[in-house]
């Protein structure tokens, strides 16, 4: 039987919140006979184990207790209750810049961090070429860290954390500040460390990173573990919780705490309506649904210039509003435009983008000349953009825009950024990476059998 690299048993962490500095002194003088603080439980009864060579992704809304949990495992905090058992060296990349003395040079900080992790100066000097080659910060290694950019601090901190052969590697969202090329370099290093037998604890707000890197995932909320399961299910529940109204979020929390497998509206954790089983044992095709708790909380409305976009939504071909889509399905983006003053040369558009703002594609009205006439104040028109959802599972956003000529000037008449949040349901039939399904058909063709080597 494999011994877990990390074992967290019934861990809770309480913080004492004092309204005034004097209350802390009063608490000391009263020796616990009176309480001058408010209790805040950042974690409550968290239990899990992580085996060597496995990666656990931790997701949750801000304030859910993720960073507190990582600090307990790293040893920078002690639990109020429960036990944290680690097997071997723990290397942590937590808050950016933590563990670095800003007055020391990068080289001196490498030696300092090595000492903190239990390595001798001789061992760290032996690893120094590898660390500096990975960090690639050039002559800055001999300058004070306070002169570094955030990206340079990340490069050096990650190089040190991963060069010391950790048994457990903890990464807390710090990679978000790195450029794309360095992020890819970091993930390749993390994957190698995991393949060499280390356990990885990875916190990220990026569902795609959790899906690609992790073997299992955990959803934290309000200091409690709501779900531990395969990454696809956990990410789906996290996204549902993230964009839910307070009432819907409370209902989801209750369902997960009691171990419910399906939402009250009979939509399962993937967001696909529960399939009907036919007599021959097969299932019917999944259908898109509408999740009322899935709302965009980041809508940005541009100032209007004579027109306004109303009621943007995604519908099925039959006109039913949906926001949980099925890969391969056909849908339509619909919205109404109300003109408050006359406009000419009107163009309507839509754009689908990722949660990080990457524009995946969109469309405009079929022919720029088709709407070349003048639309008087009080006129209303409806825009409709049909599309096939060739997106992989994940969360996406819809932008809508309207341009035209008002008083002889061409401008945005109105624009809604992140107008609609929608999710493409999880699909257990195939693994994926990226955003778009190119429907690749792969084959291996025998060119020549028994070919003798040259």
pLDDT, tens only, 273-316: 333 333 333 333 578 999 888 888 778 888 899 999 999 999 99
Residues 221 and 152 in one domain: yes
Tally the domains of the chain.
2
Last residue of a domain, one of 190, 207, 239: 239
pLDDT given for residue 442 in this prediction: 81
Interval 213-254: pLDDT, tens: 889 999 999 999 999 998 888 988 888 888 778 888 888 888
Task: Note whether 212 and 310 are same-domain residues.
Answer: no
In a domain, 15, yes or no: yes
In a domain, 267, yes or no: no
Q: Which two tokens stand for residue 196?
A: 């060499």
Sign of CA dihedral 68, 86, 8, 219: positive
Residues 354 and 215 in one domain: no
Does residue 70 sit in the same domain as residue 213?
A: yes
Verify that 220 and 94 share a domain, yes or no. yes
* Residue pointed to by tokens 């035209």: 404
Give the pLDDT score at 277.
34
Q: Which residues of 118-243 form beta strands (DSSP E)? A: 168-172, 199-203, 216-221, 224-229
- Three-class secondary structure of residue 150 per DSSP: helix
Same domain, 93 and 222: yes
Q: Is residue 447 part of a domain?
A: no
Give the range of the structural domain holding residue 154, as residue numbers without chain letter: 6-239
DSSP at 75: T
52/184 same-domain check: yes
Point out which residues pair with 203 in neighbouring strands.
Answer: 58, 172
Residues 306 and 234 both lie in one domain? no
**CATH code, domain carrying 220:** 3.40.50.300
What is residue 266's predicted lDDT score, i.e. its pLDDT? 34
CATH of the domain at 338: 2.70.50.60
Q: Is residue 72 part of a domain?
A: yes
The predicted-structure confidence for 99-146, as pLDDT tens digits, reads as follows 788 899 999 999 998 888 888 889 999 999 999 998 888 899 999 999
Query: Does the residue 276 lie in any domain?
Result: no
Looking at the domain assignment, is residue 260 inside a domain?
A: no
Note whether 48 and 150 are same-domain residues: yes
Q: Are 146 and 102 in contact (CB under 8 A)?
A: yes
Taking the C-alpha atoms of residue 157 and residue 186, their distance in angstroms, rounded to an integer, is: 11
Q: Residues 110, 131: contact at Cβ < 8 Å?
A: yes
**What global pTM score does this model have?**
0.65
For residue 208, give both structure tokens.
Answer: 């795609």
Q: Is there a domain that residue 343 lies in?
A: yes
In a domain, 336, yes or no: yes
Ranges under pLDDT 50 in the chain: 262-284, 368
Do 49 and 196 fall within a single domain? yes
Residue 294 in tokens? 């899935």
């Amino acid at each position: 039987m494999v011994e877990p690299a990390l074992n967290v048993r019934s861990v809770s962490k309480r913080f004492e919140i004092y309204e005034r500095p004097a209350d802390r002194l009063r608490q000391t003088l009263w020796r616990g006979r009176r309480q001058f603080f408010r209790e805040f439980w950042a974690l409550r009864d968290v239990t899990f184990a992580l085996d060597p060579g496995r990666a656990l992704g931790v997701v949750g809304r801000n304030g859910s207790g993720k960073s507190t949990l990582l600090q307990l495992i790293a040893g920078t905090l002690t639990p109020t209750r429960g036990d944290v058992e680690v097997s071997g060296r723990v290397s942590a990349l937590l808050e950016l810049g933590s563990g670095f003395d800003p007055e020391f040079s990068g080289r001196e900080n490498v030696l300092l961090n090595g000492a903190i992790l239990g390595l001798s100066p001789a061992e760290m000097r032996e690893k120094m070429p590898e660390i500096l080659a990975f960090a690639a910060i050039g002559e800055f290694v001999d300058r004070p860290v306070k002169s570094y950019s955030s990206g340079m601090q990340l490069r050096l901190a990650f190089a040190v954390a991963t060069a010391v052969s950790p048994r457990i590697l903890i990464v807390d969202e710090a990679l978000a500040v790195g450029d794309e090329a360095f992020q890819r370099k970091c993930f390749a290093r993390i994957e190698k460390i995991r393949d060499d037998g280390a356990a990885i604890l990875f916190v990220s707000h990026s569902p795609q990173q959790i899906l690609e890197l992790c073997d299992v995932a955990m959803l934290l909320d309000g200091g409690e573990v709501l779900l531990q399961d395969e990454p696809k299910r956990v990410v789906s529940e996290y996204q549902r919780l993230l964009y839910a109204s307070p009432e819907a979020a409370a209902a989801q929390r209750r369902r997960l705490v009691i171990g419910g497998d399906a939402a009250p509206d009979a939509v399962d954790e993937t967001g696909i309506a529960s399939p009907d089983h036919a007599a021959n044992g097969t299932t019917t095709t999944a259908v898109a649904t509408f999740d009322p708790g899935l709302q965009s909380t980041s809508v940005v409305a541009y100032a209007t210039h004579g027109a306004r976009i109303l009621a943007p939504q995604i519908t099925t071909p039959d006109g039913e509003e949906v926001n949980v889509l099925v890969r391969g399905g056909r849908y339509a983006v619909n919205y109404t435009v109300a003109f408050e003053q006359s406009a000419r040369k009107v163009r309507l558009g839509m754009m689908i983008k990722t949660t990080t703002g990457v524009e995946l594609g969109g469309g405009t009205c079929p022919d720029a000349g088709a709407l070349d006439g003048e639309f008087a104040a009080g006129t209303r028109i409806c825009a409709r953009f049909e599309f096939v959802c060739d997106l992989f599972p994940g969360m996406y956003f819809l932008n809508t825009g309207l341009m035209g000529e008002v008083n002889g000037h061409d401008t945005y008449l109105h624009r809604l950024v992140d107008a609609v949040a929608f999710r493409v349901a999880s699909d257990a039939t195939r693994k994926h990476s990226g955003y778009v399904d190119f429907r690749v058909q792969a084959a291996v063709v025998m060119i020549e059998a028994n070919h003798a080597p040259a």
